[in-house]
Structure 1
Amino acid sequence: MQQWNLHRRVALTILLLMGSKPRLQIAGIMIATGFLSMWVSNTATAIMMLPIGMSVAEMLTADSTSEKDNARFMTAMLLAIAYASSIGGIATLIGTPPNVFLAGFLSKTYGIEIGFGQWMLLGALAIAQGIPPEMLAIPAAIAASCAFMMPVATPPNAIVFGTGHMKIQSMIKAGFALNIASVVIITGLCYLLIGLIWVR
């Protein structure tokens, strides 16, 4: 990617499509990263998008004289890549390894087949209370990709933290709020949708 300056070309395309406002640039990177992560593993997506995001950040901050603002924008860009990689990976069975492992486990252990289309609509868990196993297993698999607070929580987090352009406190601060939101959203959506998708 870097040998042919593809990362710079993609960065320029994102700049052209989204405009030069920092929030729009972050949104553009997140949309592109999330979409790619649906079809390529979240780890590979983070690695692919990292040079693109860093190029966008460097282009947008090249004329700025505020080191603090430049560092904040770079941190926001890196977190956007990590988090969008993880969130996008949840959307399909192939987006992140926990999804694939879950589908194999449910198929082998309980004879429950989760199709690609079913997964994209969402799934669920709960064996001990007589609830179908997918009612507990699906939220658990989704939640495994929603660890946003620490660099070691997911491969995308580790990849962007490894650049050295952010402090761990930045990831903890942004990640804590996302972790709480993830618990609420995953619980609510799984409770509402799993029964609709896997009606027995």
Structure 2
Amino acid sequence: MAGTIQETRTKVQTVGLFLGPILALILWLFPAPEGMTVESWAVVSVALWMGCWWSTEAIPIPAASLLPIILLPLLGITSSAEATLPYARPVIFLLLGGFIAAMAMQKWNLHRRIALNILDKVGEHPANLIAGFMAASALLSMWISNTATTLMIVPIAITVATTIIGEAKDIKRFTIALLIGCAWSASIGGLGTIIGTPPNLFVVEYINSNMGIEITFLQWMLFALPVVLVMVPTAWFVLTKLVFPFDGESIKGGQEVVEKELNKMGAISTPEKRVAYVMAAMAFMWSFRTVLDDIEWLVNILPFLTSLKDTHIAIGGALTMFLIPAGDDQKTSALLDWETATKLPWGVILLFGGGLSLAAAIQSSGLALWLGNAMTVMSAAPLILIILAIVALVIFLTELTSNTATTAALVPVLAALATTAGLDPIMLAAPVAMAASCAFMLPVATGPNAVVFSTGHIQVPQMVRAGLWLNILGTFIVTGLCYLIVPMVFN
């Protein structure tokens, strides 16, 4: 089976490798549709090429994300400077700073200690254990990579699952529910902060660049945290009550594993404390900088507060990790060294930059406006139905495609649709960010799904059966909450 999957995947990649440029060339040679400029039509061909390579992974997705740097200037769509500028937007450095700070947390296992302490408080009942693992995953993935969170917490989950005592069928269901719960909550938790997952950042940057509206860290949390707080319990209910119900009284054990792992870590170390202080300071400044710059006497003392942005806080926190001594007689002179920092997910940054570059071309070429005008028929529908259609499309589309790439392709078009229909673009863009991280059915849908599937404890039909429930429920939850909360938070 493994050989067949690999062979099929290779064929798909090979077909995609040639299909992308061939389709782009054919499209480019045809005349543009009525009302569309030559530049807009060229952007369509670039988007088709990138989409083909992204969806088939003909070459690594980050490498495919470099195509705009070559194609946009060569086709006369933008200059080289305009094509490369999005790869160095402030939001890229916000992402970079967040990654670096998270690397320090991972280096000293602070994230592991936080997770174990949460699990230690939930008790021994299996349903509570699953809830504890899901809460820990969601909390950590707000600040560090969803995939990194899952990679850290899954070994603990497997250890717990292999030491519990009870009937075999109940243990099996418990194990499946536990692992899928870790993956789902890692994806859901990433919604909670701007830096939690790339689609969030993309929407924030697009709104800022094209509409001049700055979405602050606090605003995003006020909007997204309710989604997290509803989706995580819903996911827990789907797993433990609907799809994999088990007799909780027939399973015992698990708590001692958590206690043992926590005891192994010993008392919290000086480096852990110092990393925690820096992370707490960053979170505080991200959350309250707009409040602080409204305090007149404080601004008189610290005038730089009026110029402080989320990117400055992220890079400042990252630099601080390289400056503060680790303490505890550690060989490393600082909380973070460059050797550790080189392990950053650079591919995500390139993917993000490529998405921004393509989105900028879609906007500047007039393609977004043309598509928005072409889709004005949708504007006759009630707003909540438009949001519902968008959320459903994105959730099921990202089962097979990159969530960042999907966001990059759809947000400019939907923003243009909103503008031509007299709607607030944020009303359509924000739900895309939420929906892009809510693909729960397939192992390829998200990094966390792939991690738990690779353990060998879960089969694809089991993941699909459970994920379909949450995809459907998530569609309505995200739609309803976005419809209610976006106007309140973003005016």
Contact 2:145 2:197 in 1 (8 A): yes
Say which one has the larger Rg: 2
Q: Distance in 2 between matches of 1:141 and 1:187?
A: 12
1:77-111 deviations in Å (ceiling 9; x for gaps):
11110110011111111111111111112111222
Give 1:108's aligned residue: 209
Give 2:135's aligned residue: 31
Q: Distance in 1 between matches of 2:434 and 2:153?
A: 22
Contact 2:119 2:133 in 1 (8 A): no
Q: Bigger shift: 121-130 or 36-45?
A: 121-130
Q: Distance in 2 between matches of 1:160 and 1:68?
A: 19
Identity score, percent: 48
Compared CA separation, residues 90 and 68, structure 1 to 2 (3 A): same
What is the CA distance between 1:15 and its match in structure 2? Answer: 5.9
Contact 1:7 1:55 in 2 (8 A): no
Among candidates 167, 181, 186, match of residue 473 of structure 2:
181
TM-score normalised over the length of structure 1: 0.86
What is the CA distance between 1:18 and its match in structure 2? Answer: 2.2
1:1-200 alignment to 2 at 5 Å?
Answer: 16-60=120-164, 63-64=165-166, 66-122=167-223, 126-199=418-491
AA aligned to 1:52 is I
| Unmatched tracts of structure 1, length 5 or more | none
| Unmatched tracts of structure 2, length 5 or more | 1-105, 225-386, 388-414
AA aligned to 1:139 is P
Q: Which has the higher helix share?
A: 2
AA aligned to 2:187 is S
What is the CA distance between 1:71 and its match in structure 2? Answer: 2.3
Q: Distance in 2 between matches of 1:191 and 1:103?
A: 18
Contact 1:92 1:120 in 2 (8 A): yes
Q: Distance in 2 between matches of 1:15 and 1:121?
A: 26
Q: Secondary structure at the match of 1:39?
A: coil
Count of residues in Structure 1 that have an aligned counterpart in Structure 2: 192
- Aligned-residue RMSD, C-alpha: 2.5
TM-score normalised over the length of structure 2: 0.37
Q: Distance in 1 between matches of 2:122 and 2:193?
A: 26
What is the CA distance between 1:33 and its match in structure 2? Answer: 0.8
What is the CA distance between 1:16 and its match in structure 2? Answer: 4.3
Q: Distance in 1 between matches of 2:188 and 2:217?
A: 17
Compared CA separation, residues 15 and 48, structure 1 to 2 (3 A): closer
AA aligned to 1:163 is T
